[in-house]
Every structure is written in structure tokens, then in C-alpha cells.
Amino acid sequence: MSKNNKPNPLWGGHFSSGPAEIMEKINASIDFDKKMYAQDIKGSVAHCQMLAKVGILTESEAEQITNGLQEIQQEMAAGDFEFSTELEDIHMNIESRLKEKIGDVAGKLHTGRSRNDQVATDFKLWVRDAIDYIDDDLRELQAVLLQRAEEYYDVVMPGFTHLQTAQPVTFGHHVMAYVEMVGRDRGRLQDARKRLNQCPLGAAALAGTSFPIDRHKTAESLGFDMPTANSLDTVSDRDFAIEFVSSLSVLAVHLSRLAEEIVLWVSDGFKFVTLSNAFTTGSSIMPQKRNPDAAELVRSKTGRINGSLITLLTVMKGLPLAYSKDMQEDKEPVFDAAENILLCIRATAGMVGDMTVNKDAMKERAMGGFSTATDIADWCVQNLGIPFRQCHAITGKIVRLAEEKNCRLDELSLEDMQSVEAGITKDIYRVLSVENSVASRISYGGTAPENVKQQIVAARKEYL
């Protein structure tokens, strides 16, 4: 196996020769951690300014370093920076380039810190930024959902349990369920953001530093609430990454559930909605097909995002304090999960906005399956003073009678119903229409159209 006989200059004088070629490949992280270049430079600038404030750097040195870092950031943003695998990671690539630009003074930047606390800081900054832009997209998704809920607040559709027709609901109410789910997802991400918002810089390798640094100043400069409290925990903690991807996994499950419903709704068995060519694909041999591929891919990416969570949990399992190289494997699953959840959010928002709702198909399906059976039981309780369990049994007999006659409940004659319960009057037909059924569900959080209107107003106030 070939070896690199040239020692890595950033490892110091202990190593007289370089690593084996395969060691260099497995050890390098620059191919993926270069995503954090903006966060790395931001942290270095804050660290540099703090070192100048406490007198470790002169103002002139701090100015040279800051200007050099800003120039490097411009190079990277423009795609003009040449990354080196030999320099392992984003930190060494930036430090080496800084030395090329300003000379030996660049080496003073690393005073009072280690790559261990540096990468923790970069990673926290990256995750914090990711939470913010994901939240923006989730807000947009809620806005689209709320718009559709408002358009169809009173359109009747079947509500299901066990995917069997249960009771009629409104399409607006159904859509509002996802507004609530996404609201919880946003809350989870904000909770994660609050917990991660402590600054690792200055914890150094694992034990802190003997230099008179001001960690509170660095934390403030970077928008953290405070510095982390324990240097060992600081460099070995990846709870924030696990919690972030855990929150994304729950979000992905919610998006997958909506995607599954879209797949069902556009199918020939439902025909509740149609999607345009913008979010469907055709078949290579069946010209009539319009496949809901966007929804299916949103559904499938849940496995990929959940896999990222399992990867993180497995990487961190059993690691002794403090830092171990295992933790280099923490970033790719986080980057991948964040990238794919954004695709899912945007595709979902696109599909929801694109859907054409087939009101007639929804109503027709809502009228089937004896969906107003519960309304008969409720009517008997309210008008005959019979306990609900007895009314439940009465309704069951009426449903069986309708099955035998192969008709809907509202198509039974009054005599048919009175053959089961003599006290039933013609007033019962008032509750058997699906429109009246949904209108009667006036309890807080219920499907009554007027309730849905109020829910939409409240949700806009809370989330948008």
C-alpha cells in the first residue's frame, strides 16, 4: 500500500511521515463538510474579534485575519476555491489558505480553540440555519393548506377510520388536520433550536484553555444565548443533530401521510382530486396513465430520512467522552436529511396548490357507507331519552335493514325505521343528509363549516 511520505504540516512535529493513501481517504471529510464553509468563517471571525478584545491578538493582526477570512469566503462563494483532500477538512483548508494570504500571523487564529470545539460550533450554526429556512418553507406549506381549506371549508367528504367510511367531514376540516401537524413540527424544530443555542467555542479539545478568552463574548457575537457549561460535554455532544433529524423524521412521516392520501385521492377508486402534469408522470407503454410520482417520492423519502436518524444514533452509541473520530460520520446524514426534507416540503406544497377538487365525487362517497349512522344514534339520545348504548344497538339494526334493502339510510321509509324503534319520527330525516351531519358537529375542533372558518382564522393568526 502506498504511503504519503510528506507529513501533514497542521499536525505538528510529532509525525515524521504522512498517512497511507487509504488512511488519507477515510480520514478526509472535506468532500462534505465544505458545506459549512460560511459557518466556519463566521465562527473564526467571531473568535478572532474576541482574541483581539482580550489582548491575545493586536488590532492589526485581527484586521489581517478578518480581511483574509472574508476574502476566502468570497472565493468559496464564487466557486474559485480549490479544496484539498490532503488538508482533511474545511477548517484546515481555510487555515492553510489564510496562511498563504497573510503569512504566519494566520497561525495565531487557532489560539484558545481546537478543531473539536470549532466543528461543534460550525455544525450547530449550520443546523440552526437549517432550522430557520426549513421553518420558512413549513410556513409556506401551511399558507397553501390554509388557502385550500378556506376554498373548500364546507365541501363534504367521507371521513375514514381503518380506511372505512365512518362519518362525513368537510374537506376544509381534513386539510386543517395537516395544518395542525405541521404546526407541531415547527414547534419541535423551534424547541430543538432553543436547546442547541449554546456556543461551543472555547471548550478547546476537551478541557478548556489556559488563555484568558471571553466565551460569553464569542457566544454573543454568534447569536448564541450563552456558552456551553462543560468542556467535555461540549466537544462530544451531538444531541442537537440527533434532535434535529428526529424532528425531521416526524415531519417526514406527516408529509408521507398526506402523500399517501393524495395517492388514494387521485386513484380511480376515489377520484377525489386530480393533479396536473406539473406533479404527475406518464407511462412508457400506457398512454392513458397519469401517475402521482411526486406524492410517491415524498412518501418514500421518509425511509431515507428515518435512516439518517438511525445512522446518527448508531454513530453516537457507546462513545466514551470526549471526542472520537466516529463523530465525523455525523454530518452527511444531517445534510442529506435536511436536503431531502426541503424537497418533500416543497413538493407537497406544490401538489396541494395544484390539486383540482372533485366535489361531486367526494359528496357521493360521503353519502355511502351509512356515514350518518351515528347521527341516528345521537337523534335517539336527544329525542327519545334512551341511553347511548341502547341507541347504538337500535342504529345497528337500522343499518342492517338498509343493507338488506340495498339502500342508503335516508332512503328507508319511516315505517322501516319504526319497525326497529317505534318512537322514531319523520324529524329523523333532518339529520340524515351529509350536509346536516357535518353542520351539527359544532363541538370545539369539530367539522362544522362554521367551526372550520374559525379554525382557519385562528391558524392564520398563530402560524403565518
| Residues annotated as catalytic (active site), given as ranges | 162, 283
Residue matched to cell numbers 423519502: 301
CB 226 within 8 A of CB 175: no
Helix (H, G, I), strand (E, B) or coil at 227: strand
Could you tell me the CA-to-CA distances from 89 to 19, 125, 167, 205 in Å, in that order? Answer: 15, 17, 58, 16
> Using CA atoms, how far apart are residues 118 and 125, in angstroms rounded to an integer?
11
Q: Could you count the other beta carbons within 10 Å of the beta carbon of residue 250?
A: 17
Phi, psi (degrees; rounded to nearest 5) at 20: -60, 155
Separation of alpha carbons 167 and 370, rounded Å: 8
3-state secondary structure at position 310: helix
Rounded CA-CA distance 365/130 in Å is 42
Work out the number of other CB atoms within 10 angstroms of the CB of residue 206: 17
Our measurement of the distance from residue 269's CA atom to the centroid of its chain's CA atoms, rounded to an integer in Å, reads: 31
Query: What whole-number distance in Å separates Cα of residue 65 and Cα of residue 460?
Result: 47
The 3-state DSSP class for residue 385 equals coil
Backbone angles phi, psi at 416, to 5 degrees: -60, -45
Contact (Cβ atoms closer than 8 angstroms) between residue 188 and residue 250: yes
Alpha-carbon gap, residue 226 to 215, rounded angstroms: 8
Closest to 242 in 3D by CA, of 322, 321, 334, 320 = 334
Pair 202, 112: CB distance under 8 Å: yes
| Beta-sheet strands, E only, within 253-379 | 273-274, 356-357
